Chains A and B, each alone.
Chain A
């Protein structure tokens, strides 16, 4: 199946700093990528849908100025958590669809963000 690479896997930062998370589709082109957040023992919550070459679509309640998404190419989407605070600490996961297997989602390995 398709491979989605996500980096970094873990990041610890100070409150007020910004953190960038990268998501790459390695062997396919992804015009659409999805960013999820997951708190312990909770379900994956969709934050935004990232579309190549256009603005991301954010879910209700997700601050677009805080969670900046850039999808500049068909294989790369980035999520930047700006001015991070301890409440932003969470597990962030990206996913993408491969047009050849369009119904499935292929997920990155996730990024555990801890804001001190």
Chain B
């Protein structure tokens, strides 16, 4: 069966450090992968999308890598801040068009001052 795995344990880091979150998937060949941020009691907010032919994507302090051989994406937040504390979800879509997104459970990031 198709599966998306994110570390279920919360990641605790100190302010200023780089946070690295992992998303592994099996039995998919996604055309692209997305990362979302979700705050408690709120809907997810889109952060970044990376396509299968891209190895790395950056946006301000965010960086995403995508290794289709390892079936893994890494999500980095550099110079982390307490305001970055949230749950980060990865999501996959199977192909082009408007097929539905499947989400991982998310990893909670806690950045302490």
Contact = CB atoms under 8 A, between A and B. Distances in A.
Interface of A: 1, 4, 6, 32, 34, 41-44, 46, 49, 91, 93, 95, 97, 102-110, 112
Given A34-B101, A43-B4, A105-B44, 7 more contacts: A42-B105, A43-B106, A44-B44, A44-B89, A49-B100, A103-B34, A104-B49
Given A41-B105, A49-B100, A104-B49, A109 B44 contact: no
A41 B100 CA distance: 21
Contacts, number: 52
Interface in B1-15: 4, 8
Interface residues of B, number: 23
Nearest to A102: B98
Given A44-B89, A103-B32, A109 B98 contact: no
Q: Is the interface of B mostly helix, strand, loop or mixed?
A: strand
Contact of A109 (B32, B42, B104): B42
Given A42-B105, A104-B34, A34 B100 contact: yes
A107 B45 contact: yes
B113 interface: no
Given A6-B43, A43-B89, A110-B43, A105 B98 contact: no
Contacts of A44: 44, 89, 103
Contacts of B103: 43-44
B43 A93 contact: yes
Contacts of B36: 105
B84 interface: no
Contacts of B91: 105
A1 B45 CA distance: 10
B30 to A, nearest CB: 11
A32 B98 contact: yes
A28 to B, nearest CB: 14
B96 to A, nearest CB: 9
Interface in B51-95: 89, 91, 93
Given A1-B46, A103-B93, A108-B43, A43 B105 contact: yes
